[in-house]
Amino acid sequence: MARAFTIAVLTAVFAALSIERMSSPVTLATVISLLCLLGAAILWVRREELSVLRVAPTSLLVFLAWALVSLVWTTDKSDTLFAWMALFGYGFLAITVGHIRDTLQTVRALGDSLRLLLLVSLGVEILSGVLFDVPFTFLGVQGNLALGGPIQGIFGSRNMLGFVAVIALITFAIEWRSQSLDARIAVPSIALAAMLAVLSASPTVLVLAFAVAVVTVALTIVRHAPAERRNAVQWVLGALVAMALTAAFALRHPIIALMDAGSDFSIRATLWNTILDFVAVKPIQGWGWVGGWPAGEYPFNYINFTLDDHHQSALNSYFDVLLQLGSAGLVLFLLLGGIATVRSWLVASVRRSVVYAWTPLMLVTLAVESMFESFTIVGAGWFLLVLCALRAGQSRSWRENIDAAQTGTMPTLRGEA
C-alpha cells in the first residue's frame, strides 16, 4: 500500500501540468486533495510509528506560516489562499512519503515514476514531431523532435523537461550504484534521460550537469577521506567552492556567451531589475504569496505590462520569494534549503551506502535550478524540496536528541549500513 501510494503521488506530482491541461485545474486540485486525504489516513493508521516532534522540519513550518500570514496584506486574498493550499498540499504529500518510505524506497519509487513519464514524453514527441508532424498545443508540445529539438515532453517547457531529466539521471545512477536496479534497466534509463536532456536544448541543463558533477566529485572525495581528516577536507572543499563561485561571477559574461544564452539571460536580468523596484515598496513582507503569477493581479500584471511580456514567474525562485514574501520570507526559504543541504551533506559524507548521496545531490540541483527558474516554489520542485528537507532532518536534527532522551536510545551516525 505504501509503495503504491508513493508511486501514485510521484506520478501525479510530476505529471501535474499534463493533468491540468488535458482536463482542468479543478481535476488536478481534486487529485491532489484525494491523495492528501489518503495520505492523512495512512499517517493516522501508522500514528504509533510517528513522533510529533519529527513530523516536519521547523524551518518548513515557519515558512508555511509566514506564507499564510501574508493573507493579511496580499492584494488578492482568494489567490493567496488557493496558492497556499497548493503549497501545503504538495508539502503534505512530501511529508507523508517521507514518513512511510525510507531513502532507498523513495529513490526506487521516483525512478519508476520518472521512467514512465520520460517514456511517455518521448512517445508524445514522436507522435507530434515525426508521425503526425503537428504540434500538440494543448500539451505545449511544439513537435520539433525531427529537427533535433528543443522538445518539451509532457512537462510544458524545455527547461522543465531538462530539469526533470537531470533529476532522473541522478536517481537512475543512484539506483544502479546501490544495486537496487539491474544494469539491463539502469543503462537504458540513463540513456533515455540523457537523450531527453540534450534534446530539450535547455541552457540550464549544462549548468545543472556541471554543478551535479562537481558536487558528486566533492562528495566522493569526502566519503573516501579518513575520518580524522574529513573535517579538514570539508573546509578545503568549501574554500574551493567559494573561489569557484567568485570566479564564475567575475567571468559570467564569457560563460553566458559560451553557453549561447545571452538573450535568455538578458530577459531574466531585465525582469529581475523590474522586480527589485517593486520589492523596494514592500521590502520586509512582500506582496503576498501567489506561487505562479496569476493573470490580472497587481503587481505581476504591471510587471508584464512594463516589460511587454507574459511571464508566469520571476524565472528565479529566490526573486519570486523575495517579491511575494519579502526579505523575511527569503531568509526563511534560504534557511529551509540551507539547513537541509548541510544536514544531508554531513549524513552522506559518513554513511557508507551511496543512496544517502541522493538527498544532497537533489538539494544542490534544486538550489542551482532556482537561479534560473521558479520550479522550486511550486509543484514537483517544492515537493522535492520538502521531501529532502524532511529526509535530512530525520537523520540529523535536534529532535533526534529529544527522542533519544525519551526512549533511552542514543542516535548514532557511524554504525550505519
For residue range 8-29, list pLDDT tens digits in order.
Answer: 999 999 999 999 998 889 999 9
Q: So what's the pLDDT on residue 245?
A: 67
Which CA distances in Å does 341 have to 21, 309, 331, 357, 361? Answer: 34, 35, 15, 11, 9
**CA 303, CA 358: separation in Å to the nearest integer?**
38
Please give the radius of gyration of the chain, using alpha carbons only, rounded to the nearest integer.
Answer: 21
Residue located via cell numbers 501525479: 12
| Mean pLDDT, range 237-258, rounded to an integer | 67
**Containing domain of residue 371, as a range?**
55-81+224-396
Q: So what's the pLDDT on residue 396?
A: 56
Residue 293, amino acid: W
Domain contains 123:
no
Burial letters 187-203, b for 16+ CB under 10 A, else e: eebbebbbebbebbbbb
**CA 325, CA 129: separation in Å to the nearest integer?**
41
For residue 98, pLDDT beyond 80: yes
Higher per-residue pLDDT: 390 or 129: 390
Q: So what's the pLDDT on residue 398?
A: 46
**CA 94, CA 381: separation in Å to the nearest integer?**
11
Q: How many CB atoms lie within 10 A of CB 1?
A: 9
C-alpha cell recorded at residue 310: 507574459
Domain contains 141:
no
For residue 172, pLDDT beyond 80: yes
Domain contains 408:
no
For residue 414, pLDDT beyond 60: no
Number of domains comprising the chain:
1
Give the model confidence (pLDDT) of 359-407 as tens digits.
Answer: 999 999 999 999 888 889 999 999 999 999 999 887 655 445 444 444 4
Domain contains 122:
no
Phi (first) and psi of residue 136, to 5 degrees: -95, 85
Instruction: State the chain's mean pLDDT as an integer.
Output: 85
For residue 153, pLDDT beyond 80: yes
Give yes or no for a contact between 70 and 286, defined as CB atoms under 8 angstroms apart: yes
Domain contains 199:
no
Domain contains 169:
no
Which CA distances in Å does 373 have to 159, 163, 242, 315, 377? Answer: 8, 10, 23, 4, 10
Domain contains 392:
yes
Domain contains 278:
yes
**CA 70, CA 81: separation in Å to the nearest integer?**
9
Give the model confidence (pLDDT) of 283-323 as tens digits.
Answer: 999 899 998 888 778 888 888 888 888 888 888 999 999 99
